[in-house]
Amino acid sequence: MELYFLRHAIAEERGDPRYKDDGLRPLTAQGKRKMHRAALGIQALGLTFDAVISSPYLRAKQTAEIVAKVYKLKNKSIHLTNNLLPPASIEELLSEVSIHFPKSQKILLVGHEPQLSEMVSRLLKSGRPLDIDFKKGGLCCLSVPDFPDHSNAILHWLLTPAQLGMMFKEKQ
């Protein structure tokens, strides 16, 4: 199974008085533009997804919707889960994946830092969270050959949104 961890794009600032509930902070106009370009780059790489799973927070959901729009998926195909929010663990998330998406082999997971880095670290069997520079709109690819046993995950790559955007430019 391939897991693609996508950090949400640039959102309104934390602590902005307009968003008393942190889960309601939306993407900025710049964040939407950059994520759209990054999503075009993801598509230009030839990546496909059997499932799109997102945190329910607005900024993550909007990020997933941008990818879904580029891929011409219906927004209803985005599965929302609290297992991409603290304090959920990678074990809880993978359990949910095995229940709801038992035949899926390529899954896009849209969430937040430091949660995503912690999940990647756990999959890579790090005893502590790794220092991962997971940019907003960045995408990380891991494979889990023996899913649902995740004892031997492999890190393939981590790309910034700028690098993803360049993939689209190169394919034009």
Q: What is the pLDDT along the chain (172 residues), one digit of tens a residue?
A: 999 999 999 999 999 999 999 999 999 999 999 999 999 999 999 999 999 999 999 999 999 999 999 999 977 799 999 999 989 999 999 999 999 999 999 999 999 999 999 999 999 987 788 899 999 999 999 999 877 676 789 999 999 999 999 998 654 4
Per CATH, the architecture of 2-171 is what?
3-Layer(aba) Sandwich (3.40)
CA distances from 19 to 38, 57, 60, 62, 172 (A): 26, 12, 15, 16, 39
Global pTM reads 0.94
